[in-house]
Amino acid sequence: MTTLLSPLALQDFAPHDDAASPPLFEARGLTVQAGSLHERPVQVLRDVNLTLRRGQVLGLIGESGAGKSMLGRVIADQLPDGFRVASGSLRFGATDLLALSKRKHRSLLGREIAFIPQEPMMALNPAMTIGAHFREHLRRLGLSAGQGRKAALAALADVRIEAPETVYDQYGFQLSGGMCQRVLIALAFISNPDLVIADEPTASLDVTTQGHIVSLLRALQKRHGTAVLFITHQLRLAAQICDQVAVLYAGEVVEEGPARELFLHARHPYTCALHAAMPNFDGEWRALASPSGQMPGLPEYPMLTGCRFAPRCASAIDACLAEPPVLADCGDARALRCIRPGAVARNAEAENAETNPLSQSKQLAAAPLLKVDNVTKIFRRGGWLSRAPGQTAVSSASFSVAPGEFVGVVGESGSGKSTLGRLIMGLEEPSTGRILLDDKPLGGDEAEWRRRIASIQFVFQDPRAALNPRRSTLQLVTQPLQPGQVSRQQRRAQAEHMLRSTGLPLDTLTKISSQMSGGQRQRVNIARALCNTPRLLIADEITSGLDVSVQAQILNLLLRLRSEFDIALLMISHDLAVVRYLCSRVLVMWKGVIVESGETEAVFSRPQHPYTRELIAALPPEDISKRWAPLAT
């Protein structure tokens, strides 16, 4: 099935691919403004230039708040209230998208322009079967019910779903994230669109699933000759699958060019900073560096008179603050928005290069702090009378953590790694097996619970959910202190100490969590866990919701805290590179079983278990001359 529904294209926009042909999609000087008349307008997107030719993949890279998704909203004519296009043009083939009526614009969506959303599990209506989604979509495209079902099943088979008939009758919530994304990709490609906009299509998926989805997307794109706008925050992923790449910072394209070139030789200080903040998986361990602070928010834009990156840029000079630089053509098919090209190299000094954890494993004490002895956890299903077999979340796990040791637990969602963390913390009871702290088994009574929380603390994944939104940072970080046992002054002193340790400014003390950035929230979350100086910190995916530069700050913070407090860390993460950066030892979990464990370097360079190998193969390699396994087929 090469062309599913080719007659559906309303009009043929441009002659077929040819380097000299007019671009399929082009943004010129696109500026989006927010703010009403009496406020000072904020330029949410400023002077954005993008070109996408038929059959090409254009990567749009940036951290959250960079305006990546805003561009998608302009294309879909769905700017939020108060936002409008102030100047510039947006062309799709021969059509001027900005001049279209609402109705005409909408009629393009789902036909010539299709979207693949970020959160596949959320993007399917829970009250409609997969089939109902297709029926609705195909009816709009003008197919009869009979034809529609056939086309839908073919499209589902096309996205490598093995049992299309079954999936057709299922609901989104009965499928895994990867399956949902396949369904959505099938929906996007069924009209044989000219342009597909994929907004972080793999951000919420497991690494191996990410590989499948990306390879599928690439295959469909090639077969249909579709142009794809691929929005992502992963530089390495973009380097693998995109032809062209544009880097976005605070609503501006700061650098543009062929994906591989740009990846190998970044020119803009921000692109370089992204590189330096990204933990590497292959090659030598290198310390991460990240620009101080974070990306400015919309209210700060009007204050940024010059280059929007200048306040964080290591090589900024006074001229950088004077006026906004233009995106200048470098002559070699690349463009750069920086007045000091060449002044930057990847020389950002690492904050703590001497604390390479991989070389520290030998100095650890012999007596373990924590010992997990043959622990199994089975979750019962149904009511108390149910005889359904339980689900084994963790199966016969045994390992130990030495004082001051950083141990990583890697695996995909459903591998049982989070349950393992919760068992150690005491949030779940083991079905069988023991957990020993200082060689004494942890029991379930009140005194034992006190002993446990005095030594072990848990940092939850989502600080937004873990921090009470009505409490100030002062209250939050000193929550573990018993009321009545410490004076106000002591409490405040302790809070200030925690803020200094976690690198937060002191004025954070009076703020509530909604007044802080994601990175600051996660620091508060960590500070709270450290308040009573525990000896073991369990961190469950604490950087997965953060941008790379903020992630680098948090990872370096953890390394620094180790030398300051001598804490041990159990780092639960799906990100092998993060674990490699922090941990001297690693456990690989698969379906509740620890399938492989050992020194991080040994496990990752010579993986024994096929699952470990699969996990590693699913990572886009740093060395882009190597073929990434999912795209090799």
Partner 1 sequence: MSDEAQAPIQPWPTGQISGAGWAHLRAFGYLGLKALRNVLAIALQLFAVSIVIFFILRIIPADPLSMLTPGNATHEDAEQIRHAYGLDRPIYEQYFMWLGAALQGDLGNSIQAREPVTRLILAALPMTIELAFCGLGLGVLLGALLGLTAFWYRGRPVERVGETIASLAQSIPDFLWGISFVLLFGLWLNVLPFIGPIDPSMIVERRSGFLLIDTLLAGRWDAFGDRLLHLVLPATALAMIKVALVMRVLRSSLIEAYQDEYVNAARLRGVGEGAILFRHALRNAAIPTVALIGVQAAQTFGGTLLIESIYSLPGMGNLLITAIRTHDLPLIQGISLTYCAIVLLVNALVDLSYLWLNPRLRRQ
> Site residues (CB under 8 A) for partner 1?
76, 78, 106-111, 114-115, 117-119, 122-129, 131, 136-137, 140, 149, 162, 165-166, 168-171, 173-179, 184, 187, 205-206, 208-209, 212, 382, 414, 590, 611, 614
Biggest CA-to-CA distance, the chain: 77
**Residue 173 or 379 with smaller CB distance to partner 1:** 173
Contacts for 170 with CB less than 8 Å, ≥ 6 apart: 129, 130
Residue 598: CB minimum distance to partner 1, A: 21
| DSSP H or E stretch at residue 195 | strand 195-199
Residue 136: CB minimum distance to partner 1, A: 7
> CB count, 10 Å around CB of 12?
10
Residue 185: CB minimum distance to partner 1, A: 12
Residue 129: CB minimum distance to partner 1, A: 6
DSSP per position, 407-418: EEEE--TTSSHH
- State how far the Cα of 5 lies from the Cα of 391, in Å rounded to an integer: 43
| DSSP H or E stretch at residue 585 | strand 585-590
> Is 430:389 a contact under the CB 8 Å cutoff?
no
> Is 109:140 a contact under the CB 8 Å cutoff?
no
Residue 151: CB minimum distance to partner 1, A: 14
Task: Please give the DSSP secondary-structure letter assigned to residue 356.
Answer: -
Residue 392: CB minimum distance to partner 1, A: 14
Residue 23: CB minimum distance to partner 1, A: 22
Residue 330: CB minimum distance to partner 1, A: 35
> Is 66:547 a contact under the CB 8 Å cutoff?
no
**Residue 184 or 552 with smaller CB distance to partner 1:** 184
> Is 70:48 a contact under the CB 8 Å cutoff?
no
- State how far the Cα of 585 lies from the Cα of 570, in Å rounded to an integer: 10
- Is the dihedral angle over the CA atoms 459, 463, 466, 471 positive or is it negative? positive
Q: Let me know how long the chain is.
A: 633
SS3 210: helix
Token pair in block for residue 132: 């109902």
Nearest to 246 by CA among 60, 372, 432: 60
